[in-house]
Amino acid sequence: MQVQKASYFARKDDPVPVPAHKEALARCIDRLNESRVLAGARNPKIGKERNRWSYCQGYDWVMGFYSGQLWLAYQMTGNPALREAAQLRRPQFRAVLEDRKSRDHDIGFLFSLHSVADWQMTGDETARAMGLEAARALLGRFREEGGYIQAWTPVGPQDRDQARFANGRMIADTMQNLALLHWAYRETGITDFREVAMIHADTTRRHLVREDATSFHTFLFDPSTGEPLRGETHQGYSDDSCWARGQSWLIHGFANCYAVTGELEFLDCARAVADKAIELMGETSVPVWDFALPADGSHPVDSSAGAVMSAGMYLLADVTEGEESEKWRVHAHRLLDGLLESCDLTRVPGAEGLLAHGAAFVPAGRDDAMLPYGDYYFMEALMRSLGHRQFFW
Ligand code: GLY
């Protein structure tokens, strides 16, 4: 049985814990202990009204983030009720593995935070097997021509527009899903998992990241030849804008790829997109939802982008040294403190989530909301600030 124990403040050069971050993390855990009772087996999807959650109905790309929070809180406390709440969700994840039409590239988010976390925290063999099955499904989305993992699944000939939109497309968000492949390689030694993750990351670096280190949200290839066609947006302001959460996925994703492979080209890419994000943030401490727009209060911010970016910069601080490491830490701190100052719901009685002011999909009207991924990365960033190093990526 492989049970990985939490290792707090394990290194000589670990940071001095910030009391405000310790206190905030304790409030997050208290909030989870309240919300898990309300939620039962349901997974939070979005909270727009009165800081109350609406829940996922069946498969949803966000369905693993609540499990991820429960596992982090379990790791911090050892409270068995948190472990049981995460494991209660297992049948829903099993159902995803049994329905090829519902799942897509986000299977990495789902299973890293649900099954891989379970395996790491409890040594449960069923959880490991589910994680490996999910990794094989993700591997099957690799398109040899073009060298990328296809993001979305066309729903069928009855919806030609969706098929046209889905086929041949890679997206920035997939960088986070690669962690499941790297984990599967470490577990099994099967090199396909690692190779596909490396090729996809390299294609992302060459096509989704622009020369000036801003990023496209998606990139389209001719699905039959793999010929690179053009960058386009899905959730951003415009095709040539820089969607803040997409940039944040790239920072965290490339930093993690470097952490698990040691390939310097991934570190350099993480550095470049992170430096660009710092430049685009200017004086702000919570990113505007798309960097093409002025950050003057006239456009929604995206706390989830801030949380992902902060966690990613702490990770960069961990994999670099000296002054450079300090630079990333300072910016990660600034982002985290921005969230604590203007988005923290853990001090708001009756709120069910952790962070306000997330922007799920602004062009579709889904802004100013609680988002389970914002909450997950908020906890991850707080824990990284405190020197914690066991995550499920
Ligand atoms: N992965 C979808 C999003 O970031 O909204």
Answer yes or no: is 11 within a domain. no
pLDDT exceeds cutoff 70 at 4? no
Residue 191: partners with Cβ closer than 8 Å, 6 or more residues away: 185
- Which residue from 107, 245, 248, 362 has its CB within 8 A of the most atoms of ligand 1, so it is best to mutate? 245
Answer yes or no: is 375 within a domain. yes
Range 200-211 average pLDDT: 98
pLDDT exceeds cutoff 50 at 9? no
Instruction: Report the pocket of ligand 1 as residue ranges, CB < 6 Å.
Output: 61, 173, 235, 245
Q: What is the pTM of this model?
A: 0.95
Query: Is 339 in contact with 351 (CB distance < 8 Å)?
Result: no
Q: What is the pLDDT of residues 80-109, one digit of tens each?
A: 999 999 999 999 999 999 998 778 999 999
- Which residue from 46, 61, 106, 290 has its CB within 8 A of the most atoms of ligand 1, so it is best to mutate? 61
Q: What is the Å distance from ligand 1's center to 16 Cα?
A: 33
Q: What is the Å distance from ligand 1's center to 124 Cα?
A: 29
Q: What is the DSSP letter of 364?
A: G
Residue 156 corresponds to which amino acid? G
Give the number of the atom of ligand 1 that is nearest the alpha carbon of residue 235: 5
Q: What is the pLDDT of residues 291-347, one digit of tens each?
A: 999 999 999 999 999 999 999 999 999 999 999 999 999 999 999 999 999 999 999
Shortest-distance Cα residue to atom 5 of ligand 1: 360
Query: Does residue 80 sit in helix, strand or coil?
Result: helix
For residue 340, the enclosing domain spans: 19-385
Q: What is the DSSP letter of 295?
A: -
CATH number at residue 139: 1.50.10.10
Answer yes or no: is 133 within a domain. yes
Answer yes or no: is 392 within a domain. no
> How many domains are there within the chain?
1
Answer yes or no: is 14 within a domain. no
- Among 248, 287, 240, which residue's Cα sits nearest to residue 270? 248
